[in-house]
Amino acid sequence: MKLDKRSIALLSLSAALAHNCLWGLGLAKAQQSTDFNTPLTEFSATTQTPGNYILGAGDQVAVVVFGYEEFTGARVVLPDGTMPFPFLGSIQAAGQTVDSLSNEITQGLNAYLVNPVVNVSLTALRPVVVDVAGEVYRPGPVQLSSLTTVQTQLNVDARITQATTTPTLSSALVAAGGIRRTADIRSVIVRRPLPSGEVQDISVNLWEAISNAGQGNNIVLRDGDAIFVPRALADAEIDPALVASSSIAPDNVRVRVIGDGVVQPGEVQVQPNSSVSGAIAAAGGPNSDAALGEVRLVRLSENGQVEDQRVDLSSLVDSYQIQDGDVILVPKKGYLVGIDNISRALTPILGPLGGIFNILDVFNIFDNDR
């Protein structure tokens, strides 16, 4: 079917408007407020449009050449970054935007067609792979679902529903094992490559999002983004209890419970906002011989100093917050407690290497490289 110029122009305009409306609707549902408290860059929903999205392997596009159905159809960017196209062979699509790809196809078809009108639109985005570094438990590359990846779920009414998972900054931190208690979440950096070849650094204040009941900065990530979570200074005004209860905290932290006053001594995994009594409960709870008024919490501080605190659990309730790598000593009644006494008790085993740091090495609890 041949189309006159007026019909071709109307069809092209309609397709472009429909594509941009669908893209904008998806972003409006997926992205919350993106106001940053930093002069590094200004990021808003207008910067995430089909025009500057960089194509890569796995992206799916729909190519329409008006009046020529043999050239019209769905295309996929192959792992080598190319996209096969009739008459033109393999086109290098990776690294281009949909606009630049449309221009390249138009120029190529000019050798075979008279004034071809080409429209390229995104139909499915590839999975988002980002690199996460800094104060997280499992740094490295993580893969997130794209905005167009549909997942089948079972709701509370036992009905099958379909939903998309937005690749946000917080979901990337969770995929990397969660943030460490030493993380400075006030200035998380997202480094983003742009189509022009330049790199954009975006500073995100996640502490503002947590302290303001979830209203804050949780930007939508793009494939190729790099995330860096810096280490907090000692005077950072961040509430660790609130961070430990947030969605970006790890699911569990490791704590070692020792002593003759606990039912099942050993390493336990507890939620990061757990108390000392909660960790003891995870180890089977105290036995009948436990000296609950003399429980000790041993912790290695950020400056390398060993802290020993006495915790009175006579009421089985305490307000201490557990940290990853803590040691809890639950002695039995009538037993001497304290770091010096523990060290002396283990001296026959440790020999001349006795001391608190050797004790901690024996229990293998304070691993700063985890």
Per-residue pLDDT averaged across 22-35, rounded?
37
Does residue 24 have a pLDDT over 50? Answer: no
* pLDDT at 327 (0 to 100): 93
Pick the range with the lowest mean pLDDT from 171-175, 288-292, 342-346: 342-346
Map the chain to HEC letters: CCCCHHHHHHHHHHHHHHHHHHHHHHHHHHCCCCCCCCCCCCCCHHHCCHHHCCCCCCCEEEEEECCCHHHCEEEECCCCCEEEECCCEEEECCCCCHHHHHHHHHHHHCCCCCCCCEEEEEEECCCEEEEEEECECCCEEEEECCCCCEEEEECCCCCEEEEECCCEHHHHHHHCCCECCCECCCCEEEEEECCCCCEEEEEECHHHHHHCCCCCCCCECCCCCEEEECECCCCCCCCHHHHHCCCCCCCCEEEEEECCCECCCEEEEECCCCCHHHHHHHCCCECCCECHHHEEEEEECCCCCEEEEEECCCCCCCCCCCCCCCEEECCECCCCCCHHHHHHHHHHHHHHHCCHHHHHHHHCCCCCCC
* pLDDT at 190 (0 to 100): 94
The rounded distance, in Å, linking the Cα atoms of 284 and 57 is 51
Does residue 308 have a pLDDT over 80? Answer: yes
Would you say 133 and 226 are in contact if contact means Cβ atoms under 8 Å apart?
A: yes
* pLDDT at 148 (0 to 100): 56
Per-residue pLDDT averaged across 335-354, rounded?
46
Higher pLDDT, 287 or 24: 287
How do residues 177-222 score in pLDDT, each as one tens digit? 999 888 899 889 999 988 778 899 999 988 888 877 655 567 888 8
How do residues 123-148 score in pLDDT, each as one tens digit? 888 888 999 999 999 999 999 877 65
Does residue 340 have a pLDDT over 90? Answer: no
The dihedral region occupied by 27, where left means phi > 0, alpha psi between -120 and 50, and beta the remainder, is alpha
The rounded distance, in Å, linking the Cα atoms of 188 and 230 is 7
* pLDDT at 215 (0 to 100): 52
In this prediction, residue 65 has a pLDDT band, given cuts at 50, 70 and 90, of: very high
In the chain the domains, ranked by start, together with CATH numbers, are 5-30+54-124 (3.30.1950.10), 128-244 (3.10.560.10), 253-363 (3.10.560.10)
How many percent of the chain have pLDDT more than 70? 70
Per-residue pLDDT averaged across 147-164, rounded?
49
In this prediction, residue 335 has a pLDDT band, given cuts at 50, 70 and 90, of: low
How do residues 242-275 score in pLDDT, each as one tens digit? 888 888 889 889 999 999 999 999 999 998 888 9
How many percent of the chain have pLDDT more than 90? 32
* pLDDT at 216 (0 to 100): 55
